[in-house]
Amino acid sequence: MQMEKEITVTINGEAKKAKVEPRLLLVHLIREDFNMTGTHIGCDTTHCGACTVLLDGKSVKSCTILAIQADGKKVSTVEGLLNADGTLAAIQEAFKENHALHCGFCTPGMMMRATELLQKNPNPSEDEIRWGISGNLCRCTGYNNIVKAIQYASAKIRGEALPSTEPIFV
Amino acid sequence: MIQECKTSKAISGMGHSMKRKEDGRFIQGKGNYIDDIKLDGMLYMDIHRSPYAYAKIKKINIDKAMKVPGVVAVITGKDLEKYNLHWMPTLMSDTQMVLPTDTVMYQAQEVAAVIATSRYAAADGVEAVEVEYEVMKPVMDPYKATLPGAPVLRSDKKGKTDNKIWHWEVGDKKKTDKLFETAEVTVKEEIYVPRIHVASIETCGCVADYHKVNNHLTMYMTTQAPHAIRTVIALVAGHVGLTEEKIRVISPDIGGGFGGKVPVYPGYVIAIAVSFLVGKPVKWIEDRSENLQADSFARDYHITAEMAGTKAGKIQGIRFKVLADHGYTDASANPSKFPAGMFSICTGSYDYDTAFVEADAVYTNKPPGGVAYRCSFRVTEAVQGIERITDRFAQTIGMDPAAFRFNNFIKKDQFPWKSPTGWSYDSGDYELALKKAMDVIDYAGLRKEQAEKRKKGEIMGIGICSFTEVVGAGPSKDFDILGIKMFDSAEIRVHPTGKAIARFGTKSQGQGHETTYAQIIAEELGIPAENIQIEEGDTDTAPYGLGTYASRSTPTAGAAAAVAARKLRDKARKIAAYLLEVSEEDLEWEPGVFFVKGAPEKKKTIQELVFAAYTNHPQGMEAGFEATHYYDPPNLTFPFGSYICVVDIDKETCEIKVRRFVAIDDCGNIINPMIVQGQVHGGLTQGIAPAMFEELIYDEDGNILNGTFMDYLVPTAVESPSWETGHTITPSPHHPIGAKGVGESPTVGAPPAIANAICDALLPYGITNIDIPITPYKVWKALKEKGVVKAI
């Protein structure tokens, strides 16, 4: 047990205080101390991306950031994605409408990563999307529909006509 | 091909691409996975594991660990031995250590469990456990394990003198051997299907919550088969008073299963034992390295595949021999009578009557297994064998692999077809599926392009796989696990206002049961799928079932849902006859409504009839509107498909690019096309994984060389091609809704299609086989051996 340190983290707009060991990972602060379990843990080497959150607007893997590194910063998680009026955010609607999730375990991290991707590049090509989410593993979907969902969210955010969400068969 | 919908979109029965009902919670971070469960007073367990593959334990010193702040207890095999809980049965009736008392048998085996008040303290405790080992030379090669003089690994078994687990065979050996002596053409290939891992993004874990006062255990765990697990716990722990009525297994949302969450792992049992001893809830969550290194391996089949036939291109028979490496115990989850699972489906999609298939399983110093990873018990291995040897035969006689397949397919009118290994294929139209795939991808055009590229020295390949699956275990006369027959169940309760809840013995891990089961019931009863709540995974509420794996949910529980719903429709008809004052025969049904023949204005909706079942039921009829059905399938189902893959290989770097991949699947009638397509996409990516990237590799000393996600290469969106998928529809003749199951077809069909494409590309250089995963390095090495490329 190391000396605990008090930190303040603004999570989804709400400032929260916590006393933490310096070694505590941000993902554990979010899940265990703040009881927000939408952010998941899928590996121990920063490869799967299930724990992806936004730290001051930048997507990070919260299993590789110490809680104390988030002191005084803003963290956004899946729980904060909904629009202010309680409707689904474009990326959430896109994932549901395009069947971009099966088990749902990678989904929060995938959506957080996609959120930043679309903020930086509102109209990405398929290749840019695939490279853009290559730090997030999904074992269920085969990625086709995640790509489709991000394209849908991109259209929605830009106010363009939404692509069909019906499955396309050859 | 479009599935015809008999119901309106408002009802959303079969054939509608209804958006998933379960998604709402997942996209808002409100799923309830195992690690999300937090109980008052909960303790955390972490496991100290062996760094050696084979060693005697000389001493375990827990003193330092006990001094770590927050550590409550350290449990070793000796502690469990006092309660006779240090060994457990596997689902294959083999035995497995929960914690060792004297010997460790594989690297990363559980050695001691540390219980603490926090996750971090438990991890500190694990670091502080000191174990002295006497290291022994492990047996890592299954062939060496069979040699005389090999150390007998399972010396704990009385009278055991070798490392053999079982021998299994099927077919006519004499007839097959004779064929191979006389056939015009025989081909033989050694095909290794590597040891891989399911690598679901959620690892395994549990919260064991034992209450002393009530003598009751609630076991929250990542299991695909909650009822079977409850029975297994009762069998293992009944002698300490935990009998089956005192056990409740809850399988919460599961972050991917793929077969890896079927077996009972030592961690679960230790957590139960500790909760039982300490009287507090105990949580155990594997980390990724533990998951990759100790649990859930699949495949590891060394196949010698042979095919005999004519120069004109007719297959006459096959002879397959398998050496199966199960690690230190057979911890598969196959049906009891099928130690090699359904490997005998390896006769494939072709018409011939001679086959002999045999398999030997051996112990080595690797982790135990192997699980049926997104595969109906060794079907992936079987299809890799038959589809690779089929291509080799076609190459040997100089025939196009597509033409060779058409030459040998079982024809549509030959079904039901009795295979030489004893299966009765229920239905199929193999020609149609392959034709469709060839049309979509422009097979003729691709062959022309390939011929031109070959002239220029460019490397391009086209690979076909026309697979037949066997899923939906299974009929009770042949299928059981630990004696429990492999039926499955559905219970439907319709409330007075016409809305329903239905419960099942299966357990979704992402397959979308909350949507598809609702659609099946909607199809049969006309109640909107939106108004049908589906519940699985709680043994206190769900009817008994054997769980979800081996593509069995739709063939078994899906059938149970349809049959139970039909019982309710029969009851609704009786009530309608009573209310409309006509005889039952005078009534006609259209989804959601009974009406009088010739007088359609005289009608009762299903909602009205259900309400009447609670408010105005005919005297003499049982009140209420509920039905349960345990469905025992008359046969398995046989999904099939044809996949075509096109690859380009860079001659300099040997990088392999999958240019196109077309998958045509036939899973019979389709419940939800969107979900079927999603299953196929996902399975294809899990098919390219072992074909090009994944393999668990061990060195001679038993060290795993890629036991983390740093070096075990799960495909990302970049490696995964943009899949092109479609289907044909050949309904299962014996299944109540004509469905067959689809989740595993793509995992089974993709690896041979990719391997065939790469080997087709390399054929001009005299390269006929490279074992999967086929990496740029393996291609470069093969081309270097042939003098095509040079080392720089």
Distance CA A161, CA A155 (A): 7
- Which ranges in chain B are annotated with CATH 3.30.365.10? 23-31+488-631, 297-418+427-473+635-785
Assess contact for B150 and B313: CB atoms under 8 A: no
Q: What residues pair up with B535 in beta bridges, in sequence order?
A: B503
User: What is the largest distance, in Å, between two alpha-carbon atoms of chain A?
Assistant: 61
Task: Name the band, by pLDDT with cuts 50, 70 and 90, for residue B719.
Answer: very high
Chain B CB contacts of A50 under 8 Å are 201
Beta-strand relationship, B626-631 and B488-494? antiparallel
Judge residue B463's burial from the number of C-beta atoms within 10 Å of its C-beta, 0-12 exposed, 13-18 middle, 19 or more buried.
buried
pLDDT value at position B428? 98
| Cα of A47 to nearest chain B Cα, Å | 6
User: Rounded to a whole number, what is the distance in angstroms from the first to the last CA of chain B?
Assistant: 52
pLDDT above 80 (res A143): yes
Where residue B3 falls among pLDDT bands split at 50, 70, 90? confident
- pLDDT at position B792 over 80: no
- Among all residues of chain B, which has the CA nearest to that of A80? B28
- Distance between CA atoms of B781 and B767, rounded to whole angstroms? 11
In terms of CA atoms, which chain A residue is nearest residue B204?
A42
* Helix orientation angle between B379-397 and B745-762, rounded to the nearest 10 degrees: 30
**Mean pLDDT throughout B83-87?**
93
Write the DSSP symbol of residue B536.
E
Tokens of B395: 């190459």
H helical segments located in B497-605: 513-525, 559-580
With CA atoms as reference, report the closest residue to B344 among B331, B330, B362, B358: B358
CB contact under 8 A, A138 and B201: yes
Residue B179: the pLDDT is: 98
Adjacent-strand bridge partners of B342 = none
CATH 3.40.50.1010 fits A90-157, yes or no: no
Three-state secondary structure call for residue A123: coil
Q: How far is A45 from A28, CA to CA, in rounded Å? A: 15
Mean pLDDT of the B722-748 span: 97
Contact state of A42 with B255 under an 8 Å Cβ cutoff? yes
Domain(s) labelled CATH 3.90.1170.50 in chain B stretch across 35-135+204-285
d(CA B22, CA B598): 41
List, for residues B264-286, the tens digit of each pLDDT value: 999 999 999 999 999 999 999 99
Peptide bond into B738 cis (omega under 30): no
List CB contacts (< 8 A) between B29 and chain A. Answer: 36-39, 77-79, 81, 108
Provide the pLDDT for residue A1: 56
For the beta carbon of residue B599, count every other beta carbon within 10 angstroms: 11
Return the CATH number of the domain spanning residue range B297-418+427-473+635-785. Answer: 3.30.365.10
CA atoms of A37 and A35, how far apart (whole Å): 6
DSSP B730-769: ---SSSTT-B---TTHHHHHHHHHHHHHHHHHHGGGT---
User: How many CA atoms lie less than 13 Å away from B156 in the CB half-sphere?
Assistant: 17
Token readout for B543 is 């009817």
> Given an 8 Å threshold on Cβ–Cβ distance, is B675 in contact with A99?
yes
Give whole-number Cα distances, B319 to A28, B50, B190, B383, B748, in Å.
54, 40, 12, 14, 20
Q: Do A139 and B682 touch (CB under 8 A)?
A: yes
Closest Cα in chain A, distance from residue B316 (Å): 34
What's the Cα-to-Cα distance from B548 to each of B221, B333, B471, B507, rounded to whole Å? 15, 12, 12, 5
Give the closest of A45, A104, A142 to B685, CB-based: A142
Instruction: Out of A23, A142, A146, name the one closest to residue B684 (CB).
Output: A142
Distance CA B368, CA B546 (A): 22
Contact at CB, A102 and B673, closer than 8 angstroms:
no
Question: Among B429, B188, B139, which residue's Cα sits nearest to residue B319?
Answer: B188
CA distance B765 to chain A (A): 33
CA–CA dist A16, A34 (Å, integer): 8
**Mean pLDDT computed over A118-126:** 98
Beta-sheet strands, E only, within B70-173: 71-76, 87-89, 95-97, 103-104, 110-116, 130-135, 164-171
Mean pLDDT, to the nearest integer, of B291-296? Answer: 94
Residue from the list A78, A134, A139 with its beta carbon closest to the beta carbon of B718: A134
- By mean pLDDT, which of B230-239, B470-479, B687-696 is the weakest? B230-239
Nearest beta carbon to residue B27 from set A50, A95, A147: A95
pLDDT at residue B9, as a whole number: 97
Q: Per this entry, what is the length of chain B?
A: 792
Per-residue CA distances from B637 to B81, B469, B558, B734 (Å): 44, 8, 13, 8
Question: How many CB atoms neighbour CB A16 within 10 A?
Answer: 16
Banded model confidence at residue B1, pLDDT cuts 50, 70, 90:
low
Nearest of B50, B120, B138 to residue B364 by alpha carbon? B138
Task: Give the per-residue pLDDT at B327.
Answer: 97
Q: Do A139 and B714 touch (CB under 8 A)?
A: yes
Q: What is the dihedral of CA B94, B98, B103, B107, to 10 degrees?
A: 90
Name chain B contacts of A96, Cβ cutoff 8 Å: 19-20, 23-24, 27
pLDDT at B387 over 90: yes
Q: How far apart are CA B194 and CA B689, in angstroms?
A: 11
Do A103 and B512 count as a contact with CB atoms less than 8 A apart?
no
* A105 contacts B714? CB cut-off 8 A: no
8 Å CB contact of A44 and B682: no
CB-CB under 8 Å, B675 with A79? no
- Assigned fold of B35-135+204-285: Aldehyde Oxidoreductase; domain 3 (3.90.1170)
Is the model's pLDDT at A13 over the cut of 90?
Answer: yes
Shortest distance between the Cα of B758 and any Cα of chain A, in A, equals 21
CATH number for the domain whose boundaries are B23-31+488-631:
3.30.365.10
Residue B577, pLDDT above cutoff 60: yes
**Nearest residue on chain A to B672, alpha-carbon basis:** A167
- Per residue in A53-105, pLDDT (tens digit) is 999 999 999 999 999 999 999 999 999 999 999 999 999 999 999 999 999 99
CA of B36 to nearest chain A CA: how many angstroms apart?
A: 6
Amino acid at B19: K
The per-residue pLDDT of chain B, averaged, comes to 97
**Tokens read off for B92:** 């294959």
Distances (CA, A) of B306 to B3, B343, B580: 39, 15, 67
Contact check, Cβ <8 Å, B716/A136: yes
Q: B722 contacts in A (CB within 8 Å)?
A: 126, 144, 147
Contact B305, B389 (CB under 8 A): yes
Active site residues of B: 224, 374-375, 744
CB contact under 8 A, A108 and B29: yes
- For A5-80, the fitting CATH number among 3.30.110.30, 3.30.1490.20, 3.30.365.10, 3.10.20.30 is 3.10.20.30
**Distance (Å) from the alpha carbon of B244 to chain A's nearest alpha carbon:** 29
Q: Is the Cβ pair A105, B23 closer than 8 Å? A: no
pLDDT digits (tens, 9 = 90+) for B538-573: 999 999 999 999 999 999 999 999 999 999 999 999
DSSP string, A84-100: TTSPPPHHHHHHHHTT-
Average pLDDT over residues B76-94: 94
Question: CB–CB of A132/A124 below 8 Å?
Answer: yes
Chain A residue numbers with beta carbons less than 8 Å from the beta carbon of B726 are: 169-170
How, if at all, do strands B247-250 and B369-371 pair?
A: unpaired
- How near does any CA of chain A get to the CA of B269, in Å? 22
Sequence spans of domains, chain A:
5-80, 90-157
Residue of B nearest to A97 (CA): B19
pLDDT over 70 at B463, yes or no? yes
Give me the residue from B27, B199, B680 closest to A96, CB to CB. B27
Chain A residue whose CA is closest to B509: A103
- pLDDT, one tens digit per residue, over B417-461 is 999 999 999 999 999 999 999 999 999 999 999 999 999 999 999
Q: Which of A143, A164, A168 to mutate to test the interface with B (most CBs of B within 10 A)?
A: A143
Residue B2 confidence class, pLDDT cut points 50, 70, 90 = low
Q: Residues B618-624: what's their mean pLDDT?
A: 95
User: Chain B contacts of A52, Cβ < 8 Å?
Assistant: none
pLDDT tens digits, residue range B597-617? 999 999 999 999 999 999 999
Chain position carrying tokens 């065939």: B756
Nearest to A103 among B510, B709, B717 (CB): B510
